[in-house]
Amino acid sequence: MLPESHVQEHFANMEVQRQAARLGMWAFLGTEVLLFAGLFAAYAEYRSLFHETFVLSSRHLDAIMATVETAVLITGSFAVVMAHHYARSSRSGMTCLSLLVAVGTGLAFLALHGIEYVHHFEEGALPGKYYHFPEIQTAGASMFFSLYFLMTGLHSLHVIAGAGVLAWLAWRASSGEFSRGNYNAVEMGGLYWHLVDVIWIFLFPLLYLI
Amino acid sequence: MSPSALDEVGFPEHHYLNAGTTVRSWLLTTDHKRIGVMYLVAVILALFLGGMFALLLRFEHLTPGPTYIDAVTYNRFFTLHGVIMVWFFLIPAIPSVFGNFLLPIMIGAKDVAFPRLNLASVYIYAVGAAFTTWAMIHGGADTGWTFYTPYSTTTSTVVAPILLGIFILGFSTIVTGINFIVTIHTMRGPGLTWMRLPLFVWAIYGTAIIQVLATPVLGLVLLLVGVEHLLGFGLFDPARGGDPILFQHLFWFYSHPAVYIMILPAMGVISETVAAAARKNVFGYRAVAYSSLGIALVGFFTWGHHMFVAGQGVFDAGAFGVLSMFVGIFTSIKVFTWVGTLYRGAIRFTTPFAYICGFLYFLVFGGMTGIAVATVSLDVHWHDTYFVVAHFHFIMVGAALMGFLAALHYWFPKMFGRMYHEGWGLVSATLIILGFNATFIPQFLLGNLGMPRRYYDYPVRFQSLHVASTAGSTLLFFGFVIIFIYLVLALKYGRAAGRNPWGSRGFEWDTSSPPPTHNFEQLPVFTHGPHEYQLAPEVSNAA
Amino acid sequence: MVDTAEAEHDELSPARSAMIYLVLLVLTVATYSLSRLHLGTWTLVIAMLIAIVKASLVALFFMQLWYHRGSVRLAIAIAVLWLFLLMFFVVADVKTRYPLANPTANPMLVGPSGP
């Protein structure tokens, strides 16, 4: 398959198409950063207002679990980098496998997170009006958990979306679609996954390690 | 340039409108020009719907107290008026219609960077509109278009579907913004350096930057309001330690730059049309180009001027007051360059020029009142009065809408290949400018006298000003109806415009009117910038 | 004039990406260990600095910003700056507000569940 046959009609050549896809995806990643920005701003405000309660509530979260989750997502990022490398080297089997490993890390992350959530449900550490955790009853505790669930919840939605995209790319890779002249999609999907990882890199210390 | 074959009246035989006449060819099109036309239909519908709500409000204000609707209905009407006008008309009007249609042509490209995404943005708009319409039919919210907490999180009116409709529409805006940024960066034709770009493209570029940076924050804050309304998370609830002013920060972080999404494209239109109307090179090209970026970026540093009396901290109040002054500098620069372009130009008084005149007048006076309300000590008196309402209508209707009408009348021949009736064009422009003044100057006076905004009732001493404002709005309405009629008639009966009826040296006039599906018979190579009237007529980039 | 391509040979190698992966894991463990040291407010400051290093490694190398052109770097830099813009003015607000206007001053606010 000639590389040029993958060029869409309105682009001058493959390099322009690749650069356009890259800039477009990065602009989209910029919008994701700004989507989370409001939550970071809310966190900053309420942390400065309810500092002691936030520290207490944060100590109550499972930092070891979160460290494992961080390592899991970073492994997923590495897998995606390898998928990109294999796609450019026209190695479909390895591309597909690497992408599936990344999907696996996403699912593992969600499972671990789910365990955390169940734990919080059981003890009543829930957002807003549902909060009934007897150990921490100072002002601002329900606010911490509102932010915790909102930030990790929105992040988890993005993990699900990212895993879905990677799974779809893995399926396309398994049919031999990607090669040296056509690997844009793997690179773009990879960028999205890396962003999901980067957001968690910041959520981890802010929520778990105050 | 070899133009496409013309028929006996000078109309191109093959162009983007007759290349495929099935409904499917329109619904599945990836042609940016057809997408622009579909958006035109959508925003005109939105304009009439939003305008209808405005008239209903004005008629209620003919008398103090109840006139023909009750207070809750009145609140629902001003909410819907704001929501429809801001999100379904003003934000998409110029970028999604004229930006889509013209951007690729102006830079010598066959289409935008992501044509299928472009089509998706139309459907996303439609879905967002559907949710909002559904909410409207079920009574609508009564929170105002600004959805301030804690009322929006506790009201029993239909808030969630409207929030969802706007949230979905936000994606249409973001997709359009990304598309335009990438197109301008990667698809400029050979020889088209940044400093040879048409000023409309610079304006669209600045607008796209705002769309991409601001809209996600709106998405988040609407989501948070919905979550709090439905699930009681308490993020803005004082009883749980929440801060209602946090909502205002997040909301205005988007909504102030949003007003620059509305005005910046209009400024781009004026930059194009003044050069064409005066048949003179643009005065101060670089100043205008950089000012477009300046407005896009500095516009983000000013949002707290909507919150001077909300209770925000003194540092923010002071900082936002000062920063709000800076953004006015860029608009002033542009006004000087437009006037400088017109000065000693060979001006023909056409309908687009009438709108240019209206635009300049409304932008200057509306803009000055903006600087006035940006002064904290003055805003303490004017905040939440009709003074602010008049200020933003001067800019949004007086300037932005005049810009839209100027664009519509200037590029109508390019888009549809026909000319409209010039006489009626001037008549309706006059009606609109006069009607606008009659509607909103009384509102400045009302606001100064203390008439609060969003109030259903008022003291009887304000009645004569309200009646004057309502009379003006009726005049405005007739102006729009006349425009609609002659433009629709022109689609079928207008005389063939020819490639370049204005004698403009803008790049888009080098290709036929209407353009072929792929925009050009031959992709242009750029050897000079637009609007260079000192060059001989035969020297065009498409040669 | 179309923006020209970056050099194809200048890309992230598998060996380098494996090394960066290991560095990221080490930094993750370091962040956790840091929190066990109980340094008070400094815990979060240092943890955030480590997070910035980690995120930069991912962005520059895994996401290939190191090898790419300016417009892409500018796009993400502005997005991050804007994030700080929003956070700055929100925090500055609560820090300089008339104290009784802050949520903490609410007399009804006894515990997390409100009145």
Domains in chain C: boundaries:
12-68, 69-99
Using the structure block, give the residue that is written with the tokens 């006069």: B434
- CB contacts < 8 A, B to C, total 79
Q: Among partner residues B186, B221, B234, which is closest to A23 by beta-carbon distance? A: B186
Q: Among partner residues A31, A40, A204, which is closest to C87 by beta-carbon distance? A: A40
Q: E-strand spans in chain A?
A: none
- Chain A, residues 127-146, CB within 8 A of chain C, namely 129, 131-133, 136-143
Contacts of A49 in chain B (CB under 8 A): 241, 243
Instruction: Judge: B316–C102 Cβ closer than 8 Å, yes or no.
Output: no
Which of C65, B240, B539 is CA-nearest to residue A194?
C65
Maximum Cα–Cα distance across chain B? 75
Cβ(B284)–Cβ(B338) under 8 Å?
no
Which subunits sit against C, judged by 3+ Cβ pairs under 8 A?
A: A, B
How close does chain A come to B250, measured CA to CA in Å? 6
Architecture of domain B23-510: Up-down Bundle (1.20)
Residue A79: pLDDT band by 50, 70, 90 thresholds? very high
CA distance A134 to A122: 12
Query: Which two three-digit tokens encode residue A186?
Result: 């793997």
Which of B200, B497, B476 is CA-nearest to residue B350?
B497
- The DSSP result for B197-254, as a single string, is S-HHHHHHHHHHHHHHHHHHHHHHHHHHHHHHHHH---TT-GGGT--HHHHHHHHHHH
Contacts of A41 in chain B (CB under 8 A): 246, 249-250
Say what the pLDDT of residue C103 is: 87
| Per-residue pLDDT in tens (0 to 9) along chain B, 543 residues | 445 577 767 788 889 998 888 999 999 999 999 999 999 999 999 999 999 999 999 999 999 999 999 999 999 999 999 999 999 999 999 999 999 999 999 999 999 999 999 999 999 999 999 999 999 899 889 999 999 999 999 988 889 999 999 999 999 999 999 999 999 999 999 999 999 999 999 999 999 999 999 999 999 999 999 999 989 898 998 888 899 999 999 999 999 999 999 999 999 999 999 999 999 999 999 999 999 999 999 999 999 999 999 999 999 999 999 999 999 999 999 999 999 999 999 999 999 999 999 999 999 999 999 999 999 999 999 999 999 999 999 999 999 999 999 999 999 999 999 999 999 999 999 999 999 999 999 999 999 999 999 999 999 999 999 999 999 999 999 999 999 999 999 999 999 999 999 999 999 999 999 999 999 988 999 999 999 998 876 665 553
Query: Which two three-digit tokens encode residue B217?
Result: 């924050």
Mean of pLDDT values over C101-113? 73
Cβ(B48)–Cβ(B56) under 8 Å?
no
Residue A5: pLDDT band by 50, 70, 90 thresholds? low
Enumerate the domain spans of chain B: 23-510
Residue C12: pLDDT band by 50, 70, 90 thresholds? confident
- The DSSP result for B297-337, as a single string, is HHGGG-GGGG-TTTT--HHHHHHHHHHHHHHHHHHHHHHHH
Query: Of all helices (H) and strands (E), which one includes residue A141?
Result: helix A141-174
Say what the pLDDT of residue C44 is: 87
CA distances in angstroms from A176 to A173, A190, B416, listed in the order given? 5, 18, 46
Instruction: Judge: B311–C3 Cβ closer than 8 Å, yes or no.
Output: no
Instruction: Judge: A202–C109 Cβ closer than 8 Å, yes or no.
Output: no
Q: Among partner residues A77, A82, A139, which is closest to C104 by beta-carbon distance? A: A139
Query: How many CB atoms are located within 10 Å of the residue B326 CB?
Result: 14
Provide CB contacts within 8 A for B214, sequence distance 6+. Answer: A34, B253, B254, B257, B258, B261, B300
Say what the pLDDT of residue C3 is: 38
Give A13-208's CATH code, choosing from 2.40.10.120, 3.40.50.300, 1.20.120.80, 3.20.20.120.
1.20.120.80
Instruction: Judge: B313–C109 Cβ closer than 8 Å, yes or no.
Output: no
How close does chain B come to C83, measured CA to CA in Å? 10
Mark residue B384 as left, alpha or beta (left: phi above 0; alpha: psi -120 to 50; beta: remaining). Answer: left
Query: Is this structure's pTM higher than 0.90?
Result: yes
CA distance B307 to B305: 5
Coil, helix or strand for B12? Answer: strand
pLDDT above 60: residue C7: no
Enumerate the domain spans of chain A: 13-208
Which amino acid is residue A125, in one-letter code? A
